[in-house]
Structure 1
Amino acid sequence: MDTRFKLRFIANKKGQLLREALQEWRISKRALTAIKFDGGLLTVNGVERNVRHVLDIGDCVEVTFPPEERSDGLAIENGDLTIVYEDDAILVLDKPAHQSTIPSREHPTNSIANVVCGYFQQQGLASTAHIVTRLDRDTSGLLCIAKHAHIHHLTGLAQRHGQISRQYEAIVHGHVVQDVQSIVAPIGRKETSIIEREVRQDGQYAHTDVTVLKRFYFNNEPMTHIKLRLHTGRTHQIRVHMSYLGYPLIGDELYGGNRQYIGRQALHCVSLDMEHPLTNQTLKFSSLLTEDMQRLLNESSA
């Protein structure tokens, strides 16, 4: 059984080169190179053609992408996945805290990517895990995975054009003064650390919107429940920006919080909105806060 990923298009311009049509259909040059050399196929009305073929209106073009290979460092593992949505193109998951999105030297096994590869193998899918929206190991909530390199290419274009929207909820130390604010502060790697980031003038542009949901006390300590919207996706962006404001996340020891009340940073991706990369249908997903964050809110006092 041929499990290679395939897409069909109908030509709508007379005399157009297949190469030009594929460009309009957002097939990348990298994908075309892989199709040519790594086991893909281009057909027009069922006949194999090259990119110099001249199309006629109504021609049926089928693009067969080559099978994908996992990187050597990505082992196949079996494990649990909380699937929120799935089709032939994307997979949306609800990630628990304390699970890495991709394997690392410190946590080489049981990552979302490892388990997704195992899940794809069970499905007989000739693909690997392409992470569209990544979450830190101790951040919970929604994340999106593309099932194929071409879908990853399309979602990357969507992200660059601000067409994938994520909202988070967090609990931070202190009472945030402003009800609504935008943090625009560049983020870069801290010179003394390979992990830690900081706001710095030579960093990458980073923009976070913050809305206060509730100010409260937990064991007489002031805390604030906030909602955040990311306009950019820098590493540790929310954690760095909130620490920069003087309100580090509860449980985030790396950026000034403490773990007295929760065993990880209190951060959860509650919503993910996007257009489907193939159908352009609007997709909206949501996720409830995890029990550890709910406990802080439920046991709080005004």
Structure 2
Amino acid sequence: MQITLQEIQVFTAVVDTGSITGAAEDLEQTVSGVSRALGRLERKLKTTLLRRTTRRLELSEEGRAFLQHARGILASVDEAEEQMAARVGRPSGRLRVDAATPFMLHVITPLANSFRQHYPQVQLEFNSNEGITDLIEKRTDVAFRIGKLQDSSLHARLIGSSRIRVLASPDYLQNYGSPTNVEQLAQHILLGFTKPELLNQWPLHDSSENMLQIKPTIISSSGETVRHLALSGAGIACLSDFMTRGDRQAGRLVQILPDQTLEVRQSINAVYYRNTALSSRITSFINHIVEELGEQPFDE
């Protein structure tokens, strides 16, 4: 008896979501239906793909081997559908987009409606991760990365750069005063990041003329959390222009030490896996983002 595409989809969904319940929600199927499909697949292959424990599902060695084939089959089906859609000039199908939460909220989601108006056949799936996402493991089509790229297996298209600034709310400055030089920052509440440590380098010179490495008082893994802390008057933060332009224009955040601030920019790239055929879904989405943002997307 031959295995079916639906059984392969169920298997990969269980792996990706980590549970049969999660796969059922993702595929909009019943839990019992997903469980039966997974059981049929294992019987047809005459092996155990997933070991069920009381807490989680774990891939067996055979399951890990089959997963590579399964992802290749699904990618081939997606590519075939894409090629057929391209023949009639209509990008279609699901497009999985990944970005850090601040970039997703402040840049990507505001442009989702206009993209859908141009390409109604494309179903968008947005996922936010604060760390680096494995595009293949998460079946991500395109991701937006901020800062220096390290993964050589990815193709990248630069879509812009965003300056970083040191900022605080008017309430914080009223309560704690505004520093007039870099040395005074040590007496203030500084908001920083758990990782990477590079994000705790601020665009100011220390006493040795190096980039200032701060010792944060409050830290978070999320840039959006740091932004909200700054807006609430909890401390001074260093954030990128793409997420604070509206706050600065409205006076909710004020730049600190502007005359001493260095011109430091974070590059922003759209990336996709090097071995993936560049689908019209990916091309149309990246082009739309670039066109809507313009030549200087994050400048004041």
TM-score (norm 1): 0.30
Bigger proportion of residues as strand: 1
| Greater relative contact order structure (CA < 8 Å, 6+ sep) | 2
Bigger proportion of residues as helix: 2
